[in-house]
A and B are shown apart, each in its own frame.
Chain A
Amino acid sequence: MSTTRTDGVRPEGRTLLPQVRLKHTGRWISAAVIVVLLVLLVIGASQGDIDYAAIPAYVVSPVILEGLVNTIVLAIVAQVSAIVIGVAIALMRISKNPVAVAFASGYTWLFRGLPVLLQILLWYNLALIFPNLQLGIPFTDIVFVSLNTNDVMTTFVAAFLGLALNESAYMAEIVRAGLKSVDRGQIEAAQSIGETPAQRMSRIVLPQAMRVIIPPTGNDFINMLKGTAMASVIGYMELIKAANNISSFNLQVMETLIAAAIWYMVIVSIASIGQYYLERAFDRQDRRPGGRGKAPTLRRRVAADLGRAPLIRSTQ
């Protein structure tokens, strides 16, 4: 007797039935367990034999701040050098010159294969086998520069070489993957309008490779910030060595290490935020059909991740 409705309108007189939503009892229980465990953890930590009140002073103490600056300088110098060397090795790796390809493969194999700590120690002790570093023409008496290895191989230089060369091998792989990700047709199109190899690389290939290169490079830089800790082994004054210097006088080992830990968290967080904005800058509109707007800001994205509106309203 009922007729089929095709106009998409709710039939007259038909009311919607009430719906009873599922209660997520399990979710509530597990959330409660987590909160209880965390509270117990905090209570336990507060009862430890530790002088929490001393930590803030260590965080801003001149020794720790010097260590902080040295950590940042070492990480940035090593990462930037690794990027430059990595690009060069990657270009050799994809070149048509078999000697360059073999060299690049061997380089990656060697510097990626050895533990960074071992590499730092090898560089630091170079004077044991080469007391002098000379620049001259082999098999002649002509020497342009001659230096005492121990003068050259400071703790900074040894740590820098160990970290930068190891990282450059990883960067070479990252850059190579980025270059390979660019469609072959892009190079042909650039060729067809007469671009030179250098123009093709800088104008067409690298900008497109960047979106593949940047995320892993950001992760590597964060690892690099933490990896500088290994330089403490040879006595470079980075954060951990600075913390140890203080605690060797007053035995507040945990307090000074926690001060160092706080700084690591700060710089790693800043680096993560920087990485987010760098990625956004290279994430052009081209892969986002229709939309010409920018990606959401970090605050909005975090808010979205947390499933609620931004805490601070933007003023636009």
Chain B
Amino acid sequence: MTTTAPAPVLEAISIGKSYGHNTVLEDVSLEVYPGEVVCIIGPSGAGKSTFLRTLNRLEVPDTGEVWVGGEPMGFELRSGRLHELSERRLSAQRAKTGMVFQHFNLFPHLTVLGNVMEGPVQVQRRRSREVREEAVAILERVGLGDKLTHYPGQLSGGQRQRVAIARAVAMKPLFLLFDEPTSALDPELVGEVLAVMAGLAKDGMTMLVVTHEMAFARQVADRVVFMADGGIIEQGPVAQVLEQPREPRTRQFLQRVLE
């Protein structure tokens, strides 16, 4: 073997988290490589959201490390020790990651264009004229080129979630985290959001997606991770995990969802 494996763009090592006596995550490790699409599936309460939120440190894990683009999330490596960063510097690290929420969380007081331009202009301090052009292009790609001056309150759920995706993409993040991006949507609006996500995947965006949409996982994902009871039970290529799961827990879960 002469080729060296590419470095993971995202690496979670032994993440642990509890709320009081309730252990939500225990020794969870995961690597995501550039261009990969990884879907996380699992029953309610498995800790999927909590795990995803530790990756951009919206949730501070009790134990373990998260490495983003070769940097320890929330820390600075100095002489072999991890020194915790100030909230300000942590924010700069977060700017390299993107997240799409179940309930969109668009800024209601900003227009569609304002939502998408907020990060590049305020956080990356880029000139608003060039950002505007990019933002318009991204919004056109998600099919919202005609809604630039609308406010989130004037959009449908599917349109809102597409704006939220555009907002995250505009930051040119190393990867995107999705937490059940379609589960707050009316069934007829799910398709338009999944289509946008499939398009991103095709363009090589690295994505980690918590989802209950098995069809999406089957068509778009490179790898599927099954989580239950605060841990990863099984992971592997889509075909293997979804068609021939090794673990009985995975089989049980899949039977219940696919019925």
Chain A interface (Cβ < 8 Å from any Cβ of B): 183, 185-186, 188-197, 199, 203-204, 207-208, 284-290, 292
Contact = CB atoms under 8 A, between A and B. Distances in A.
Nearest to B155: A289
B33 interface: no
B87 A193 contact: no
B30 interface: no
A289 B164 CA distance: 18
A190 B171 CA distance: 12
Given A185-B101, A188-B105, A286-B109, A193 B95 contact: yes
Contacts of A196: 87-88, 91
Contact of A189 (B96, B101, B149): B101
B152 interface: yes
Contacts of B164: 189
Closest 4 CB pairs of A and B: A194-B95, A193-B119, A189-B105, A192-B99
A56 B101 CA distance: 64
B168 interface: yes
Contacts of A290: 154
B151 interface: yes
Nearest to A290: B154
B94 A192 contact: yes
B123 A195 contact: yes
Interface string B97-131: 11101010111110000000011001110000000
Contact of A192 (B92, B98, B109, B154): B98
Given A193-B167, A195-B122, A199-B123, A287 B92 contact: no
B151 A285 contact: yes
B56 interface: yes
B151 A186 contact: no
A171 B105 CA distance: 28
A52 to B, nearest CB: 51
A192 B151 contact: no
A61 B97 CA distance: 67
A285 to B, nearest CB: 5
Contacts, number: 90
B101 A194 contact: no
B94 A288 contact: no
B158 to A, nearest CB: 15
Interface residues of B, number: 35
B152 A286 contact: yes
B58 interface: yes
A188 B91 contact: no
A287 B153 contact: yes
A203 B107 CA distance: 10
Given A194-B171, A289-B154, A186 B88 contact: no
Given A192-B99, A285-B154, A287-B153, A208 B108 contact: yes
B167 A285 contact: no
Given A285-B151, A289-B153, A189 B91 contact: no
A9 B231 CA distance: 66
Contacts of A191: 56, 58, 91, 94
A199 B122 contact: yes
B108 A194 contact: no
A286 B106 CA distance: 11
Contact of B107 (A189, A197, A199, A288): A189
A284 B114 CA distance: 14
Given A188-B105, A207-B109, A286-B108, A193 B153 contact: no
Given A191-B58, A286-B151, A289-B153, A186 B105 contact: yes
A147 to B, nearest CB: 40
Contacts of B154: 285-286, 289-290, 292
A186 B153 contact: no
Nearest to B57: A191
Contact of A195 (B91, B98, B103): B91
A189 to B, nearest CB: 4
A179 B124 CA distance: 26
From A189, A195, A286, residue with most partner B Cβ within 10 Å:
A189
Nearest to A287: B153
Nearest to A204: B107
A185 B105 contact: yes
A207 to B, nearest CB: 5
A29 B87 CA distance: 69
Contacts of A192: 56, 58, 94, 97-99, 101, 168
A194 B94 contact: yes
B84 to A, nearest CB: 15
Contacts of B107: 186, 189-190, 204
A188 B108 contact: no
Contacts of A185: 101, 103, 105
B155 to A, nearest CB: 9
Given A186-B105, A194-B95, A287-B153, 9 more contacts: A192-B99, A193-B98, A194-B96, A194-B119, A195-B122, A197-B87, A197-B88, A197-B91, A285-B151
18 contacts: A189-B107, A189-B164, A191-B91, A192-B98, A192-B99, A192-B101, A193-B118, A193-B123, A194-B91, A194-B93, A194-B95, A194-B119, A196-B87, A197-B88, A199-B122, A208-B109, A284-B109, A285-B154
Contacts of A186: 105, 107
